Structure 1
Amino acid sequence: MDVQETTASDLIARSTRCDVLKDFALPFTVKVYLGSMGLSNSGSDELIGWVSDLLYGNDVKRTEAAQSIVSFIDELAASRRKQSAADSMTYIVQAQVQGRCVTDEEVRGIGVLFLIAGRDTVAAALGFDMANLARNPEDQESLRREPTRIATAVEELLRAYSTVQIIRVATKDVDFEGVSMLKGDFVSCATMIANCDPAEFMCPDTIDLARQDHRYIAFGYGPHLCLGANLPGVRLP
């Protein structure tokens, strides 16, 4: 069984009801991370707790969680330097950039980014996807009959339910379409609105799981393209 199947099987064995985000999506994303690092799932609950505290806890919990995560990454990196394995951390510690080895600080940053950025984003996407399928049982049946269509369906759901907004900071006072923004103001640029542009997408408000036009910008574009843009294509199907 793969991670999706084992996570779902464990959940079904415990109950016929669940909170998709809490009971499936979050454990799934963390287990994928642990697997990519060559680790067992035994520490998944602890890791879920650390990340939750880091993202949503108070100042004390955030500090403690950050220290725990950094220690976890540092210990794993040190272990892989001594004994390599066929996993992502070994690849990271052995990587070279412009002819030099990556530093401890860079290894730590990559390890933390991989964990944090790939957790809530993928989990949120799974939540939206499952909610949409729950509301549309005919789509469920269609994908069960033709599982080869799942990858295409994921692309359409990413267009319809882009989960990340980019917060930017105004560099000067500006008036835009009657809205005043002062220098230093935080501005939410909801770029995912472009995914509903009728000039680009036919019937953009209709979720068509067979849609072939996948020119959405759920992951940004240009120099702001998300580093994890390929992750959902691997994890969500």
Structure 2
Amino acid sequence: MAEWKKKCEVEWGLQGAPMPDGLDWKSTYEAKPLGRNLLKNPSPHGVSKDEPESDESAMDQRPMRGPIRFAPEGDFIGWTTSTETIPEDRSGIPEGVVICSSSRYSWFSLVQVVDLKAEGLWDELLDKFQPEIVIQDWYQDSQLQEQVYELHVKLLGADKSKVISERSILPTEDRNAESKTWKEVSHVFSGYGPGVRYVHFQHRLKNMSMDGMVRGFYETKSSDSSVIVKPTKTSS
């Protein structure tokens, strides 16, 4: 077992980090908890930031058949998803005006909770060494509104109710841009204190459904989401 412990220490650069003798270092080494993406299914929309979609395929304007769609289609295995419809603002529409087409906006939320110990990390490392937890995400600026994306990440304690550290990022977009672009969002948690056992990762993506004479579904997509625990430490 000492051989596997040494491999973990050397290959992950953990000199000086607490490494208890009673741990199954062979299983820990094979789990590779440090340096890999701990999120499952990081690109559930089936698109990549490295292969941007054309305007025609990303925002298909052909007439829709069947009921209007309010949520995106994709492979969302590993994620908990929900849709929140945004109340329609008709305050600026004069009374008696006939509306031929209406736009309905909604937030599509994707949540994933990473169990750090189940992924191979150990108590002493998380509590004493407190390695950096690096969050990264990419979203495609759909230009639907000024705000089309939100990121909310929490570091949770063992019972998942205690929030030890958290970060929210709510970017705004330049709607005068000529084309959609992929944008990076990232944050590094360090010096967060003892007790962290879970990472609660949530991003919210804005979509728009059009009904009436013009029908269609327009969405904001994400790609290459990641939660990576680095074998490095930054003093708080």
Return the TM-score normalized by structure 2.
0.26
Which structure shows the bigger proportion of residues in strand conformation?
2
More relative contact order, 1 or 2 (CA 8 Å, 6+ apart): 2
Which structure shows the bigger proportion of residues in helix conformation?
1
Return the TM-score normalized by structure 1.
0.26
